[in-house]
Structure 1
Amino acid sequence: MCAIAGLLFKTDKDRNFTMTTGQALTQILDATLHRGPDSAGWAIYKEPLDNLIRIRFMISRKNGETDDEIKRIHRHLKCIKVQVVHEEIQGCTLGIHARYDGEILPLTKKLEKEFIPFSIGRRLDIIKDVGQPLELSRKYKIDEFNGSHGIAHIRLATESGVRPDTAHPFWACGFADVATVHNGQITNYWIMRRRLERKGMTFQTHNDTELIAVYLACQMSCGATLEDALKASLDDLDGTFSYLVATKDSIGYAKDKIAAKPMVKYENDEMIAIASEEVGLNRLFPGQSLETSEPAPSSYGLWSRLVPQ
């Protein structure tokens, strides 16, 4: 089944909402845990760093291998002219802040020959691992995140192993700050992947959620707006799907024509919140009666931040 979650605050005004952004996303996931108990992940959008990019790598957790792997990452980054300014190990990941002046797609191709970057961006940071959301939130300090927006996911593994790299969200490999979460199945995956690869796109996995991210990023790199790309995806992608995409300043969604995969949204003057089931939204406003709605079949939508980024 799987479950998706999204949250975006429209402005930087003082918030009446009492949870942090990380707490809210985690609560939505925990409320829908019956849909995906195998792994969990968050794509969170932090404040940009001056002239720096964020890179998060998956690393080994085997005794004696972590230090060697980090040394190899440092050597490789130095060879491709990426200067590490700060680093932090969290669980099975290494988060790095670095100076890099080139394009992201060529950098990705140089990195993925040796290592697995979960995400690259000026704001995007993807955290994902095997386990359940409350446990992983404590481990990775997700509750401390109180940024402008983020998306999240819990997975019920059906087609691939239960590992950190098969958990969601997925980054649009080669493009800064684009990530997706998805409930469903893209049935023309291989046709679409070959089309994108012929355009120079690159993939890290065989997961159809990653394909959605790369497809949308490719559309935007060719001049389409995100709204245009969401609309086009309804015709280009086959299957049953409800997905969310996040960029540095927005969250969008699309639902296929069958609409078999649920999605519920709640919006007020301050925020937009999205979940697979209404019980997830109820966690954010306990005891309140919410006016929620479910997007129609073959629909898409986009919410953007109302402040400069």
Structure 2
Amino acid sequence: MCAIAGLLFKKARPAHFPMTTGSALTEILDATLHRGPDSAGWALYRPPLEGELRMRFFIDANGDAQKEIAAVHTALEAQGATVLDGEVLGCTYGVRVGFAGDVLALTRAIERRVRLVSIGASLDIIKDVGQPYALAPRYAIHEFDGGHGIAHIRLATESGVHPDTAHPFWACGFADVATVHNGQLTNYWIMRRRLERRGMVFQTENDTELIAVYLAYRMSRGADLEEALRTSLEELDGTYSYLVATRDAIGYAKDKLAAKPMVKYEDEDLIAISSEEVGLNRLFPGRALATSEPAPLTYGLWRRAA
């Protein structure tokens, strides 16, 4: 059992909304903590960097972190990426790099030498073992005030409790695509082998990563995000509710059985999503919200205004 969360401001964050994006996502997660106390994570979207990438890597916070950081710099420089600045946060090392080449080629060149968490002009994924209120100060989540993001808390059922098995997952090799997911894909290995034969790369055996890679593959072949969401309902078997985020949008899909809950609230300023209504109530205390739950076998998409 897990919980998902999403928040998108259609334009700027309204003055009457008192929380930063990071704080709001953290509140949703904490309100649904009974669904997943093992680990937590956020996919946060900042204004895109022109000619630059944000990259985050796992490092061993209890080991020789400086050696791993040096390996990151060496791997990036070998591919023509210039490290502009870097910062250690918890068990991760985040860098801003100058790079104008192909992200997929860069990923394949360095993935066996370093442990990638995410790459994007906008995207930055933070995830670790622990609960949202404990992790948020460590990773400065409350300071994030970008236009949108998705988040997740996890109760491990099929793999160990480690930072790299926490959600969100990045679509390996494709900038700015991330997913969170509650449920299980029953045709995981069939779909993974099919995508691998088409050149796609996986970092884990987590089915949430497969959703991200599947959507990125469809978009790399010319589909827009809405079309990729639609076909995912035809090709991904199982019971699930998932969220996907890109540089300017959040989308969802819900399987035909609709056994995994998802509740949303929308007004003229924002769309907020949680696994349970109690998560949305944290954002608007004392208000009676007009929420709704997506119907079975449906998908949806919200974009930020240009």
Which range, TM-score by smaller chain?
over 0.9
Cα contact 2:252–2:301 (8 A) shared by 1: yes
Distance 1:237 1:5 in 2: 21
Matches within 5 A, 1:56-67: 56-63=56-63, 65-67=64-66
Matches within 5 A, 1:1-309: 1-12=1-12, 14-63=14-63, 65-307=64-306
Cα contact 1:40–1:168 (8 A) shared by 2: yes
Aligned CA RMSD, in angstroms, stands at 0.8
Distance 1:280 1:12 in 2: 22
Match of 2:251, SS state, is: strand
Match of 2:87, SS state, is: strand
Distance 2:26 2:13 in 1: 23
Report the alpha carbon displacement of residue 14 of structure 1 after superposing the two structures with TM.
4.2
Cα contact 2:71–2:114 (8 A) shared by 1: no
Where structure 2 has 5 or more consecutive residues not aligned to the other structure, the ranges are: none
Match of 1:50, SS state, is: coil
Cα contact 2:59–2:68 (8 A) shared by 1: yes
Report the alpha carbon displacement of residue 20 of structure 1 after superposing the two structures with TM.
0.5
Cα contact 1:15–1:270 (8 A) shared by 2: no
Distance 1:270 1:250 in 2: 14
Distance 1:302 1:14 in 2: 21
Match of 1:78, SS state, is: helix
Match of 1:204, SS state, is: coil
Structure 1 window deviating more from structure 2 (124-133 vs 48-57): it is: 48-57
Report the alpha carbon displacement of residue 233 of structure 1 after superposing the two structures with TM.
0.5
Q: Deviations over 1:218-270 (max 9, x none)?
A: 00010001000000000100000000000000000000000000000000000
Cα contact 1:42–1:152 (8 A) shared by 2: yes
Distance 2:207 2:13 in 1: 37
Structure 1 window deviating more from structure 2 (227-236 vs 107-116): it is: 107-116
Cα contact 1:52–1:100 (8 A) shared by 2: yes
Q: Deviations over 1:148-184 (max 9, x none)?
A: 0000000000111100000000001110000000000
Report the alpha carbon displacement of residue 13 of structure 1 after superposing the two structures with TM.
6.4
TM-score (ref. length: structure 2): 0.99
Distance 1:204 1:73 in 2: 17
Match of 1:19, SS state, is: coil
Task: Tell me the amino acid that sits aligned with residue 200 of structure 1.
Answer: G
Where structure 1 has 5 or more consecutive residues not aligned to the other structure, the ranges are: none
Match of 1:55, SS state, is: strand
Cα contact 1:28–1:284 (8 A) shared by 2: yes
Distance 1:78 1:243 in 2: 36
TM-score (ref. length: structure 1): 0.98
Seen in structure 2, the aligned counterparts of structure 1 residues 77 and 13 have a Cα distance that, compared at 3 Å, is closer
Cα contact 2:264–2:292 (8 A) shared by 1: yes
